Amino acid sequence: MYKLRVTRDIAGAHYLPDYEGKCRTMHGHTWTVEVLIAYQSDLGLTGLYLAKTGGLIVDFRLIKETIDLFDHVTLNDLLPVPTAEHLARELYWRLTGHIGNWLDCDVEGYTKDLGTPKVEWVRVWESKECYAEYAPS
């Protein structure tokens, strides 16, 4: 089993219009996004996998670029509910889709024989004490 973890800081702003408290008004954060990806294959990084990916399980650049879509933005412009919880969920599904596209998973026998890397979870740290994590059940 291979595990890859990427941690990236992004800065932005949001407000929670239906919240009673200070977060109701526009304010900023430096969120830390953490992503864990797992890849399990009895065959290891050989053959078709090496040919398709150059030996990478997932290109770290792809993960960073996806996270960076949310850097220096107002989350309210991108998410209907601009919270750490919903940002974690949105990043999870975007990364899951991007990994499938990057691997070109329709190659015959690819997913059957070698498996596909899977995003296990995404965490969004709103401060050093608090994070939200999304992983589908």
pLDDT 10s digits, 28-45: 999 999 999 998 765 555
Please name the fold of domain 2-134.
Tetrahydropterin Synthase; Chain A (3.30.479)
For the chain, give every domain's residue range: 2-134
Contact 103, 116 (CB under 8 A): yes
Determine the pLDDT at residue 106.
Answer: 46
> Which of 9, 5, 7 shows the shortest CA–CA distance to 71?
9
Determine the pLDDT at residue 108.
Answer: 46
Determine the pLDDT at residue 87.
Answer: 98
Determine the pLDDT at residue 132.
Answer: 98
Helix (H) or strand (E) holding 80: none
Stretches where the chain sits below pLDDT 50 are: 105-112
Determine the pLDDT at residue 27.
Answer: 96
Determine the pLDDT at residue 110.
Answer: 46
Q: How far apart are CA 61 and CA 80, in angstroms?
A: 27
